[in-house]
Amino acid sequence: MITINLSMALVVGALYAVGFYLLLQRSLMRVLLGIVVIGHGANLLLQLAGGPPGRAPIVGDAPPEAMTDPLPQALALTAIVITFALTTFLLALGYRSWVLLGHDEVQDDIEDRRVARRQRPAGAMEEESDAEPEQRAGADQ
């Protein structure tokens, strides 16, 4: 079992805390930064999971017990590529949101609010046609 030192544990914890705080924001840019920061935290944790640093893991270059564990580094590399690609996708989505809506704020679900506001179970759809004027204005642009 591998244990990490306190400073590294604090760094990972702080990265997660900052990331999750940013995730809770309305602006998609902040959400995106939150994802990036949590991603860094997870990759750092993956690195630390490999144990203390050592020599390069090449056969004949160093005795096996002095080598660093290469597997978590390979895993972290894969994870970095995946987070990178998906960050780009989120950026494209944010840009599309800006083009279509003029902002990149995450909106409430219209149907959710409609269900929450409904008094009677039946026949309430008709008088809802004027609901969400700002949503409709946004959608028409």
Partner 1 sequence: MSTLVTLPVLLPMLGAGLTVITSRSATLQRLIGIAVLIAVAVLAAVLLVAADRTGPIVAEMGGWAAPVGIALVADRLAALLLLVSTLVTLAVLVYSIDQRVADYGRETPSTTFHPMYLLLCTGVSLAYLTGDLFTLFVAFEIMLSASYVLITRRTSASRIRSGMTYVTVSLTSSLLFLTMVALVYAATGTVNLADLAAQVGELPDGLRTVLALLVVVVFGIKAAVVPLHFWLPDSYPNAPSPVTALFAGLLTKVGLYALLRTQTLVFPQDGSKTLLLWLAVATMVVGALGALAQNDLNRLLSFLLVSHIGYMLFGIAVFDVAGIAGTVLYIVHHITVQATLFLVSGLITRRTGTVSIDRMGGLAKTAPALAVLFAVPALTLAGIPPTSGFVAKLALLQAGAGSGVATAAVAGVVVASSLLTLYAMARVWVRVFWGTPQPPLSDPDPTDELVVGTGSTPRPMVAAAGSLAAVSVAIAVAAGPLSAVTGRAAEDLLDRGPYRTAVLGEEAR
Binding stretches for partner 1 (CB under 8 A):
1-4, 23, 28, 31, 35, 38-39, 41-43, 45-46, 48-50, 71-72, 75, 78-79, 82-83, 85-86, 89-90, 93, 96-97, 100-101, 106-107, 109-112, 114-115, 118, 121-125, 138-139
Q: In the chain, which ranges are E strands?
A: none
Name the 3-class secondary structure at 41.
helix
> In 3D, which of 70, 90, 66 has the Cα closest to residue 78?
70
CA 20 remoteness from chain centre: 8
- In the complex, least distance from residue 101 CB atom to partner 1, rounded to whole angstroms: 6
- In the complex, least distance from residue 61 CB atom to partner 1, rounded to whole angstroms: 19
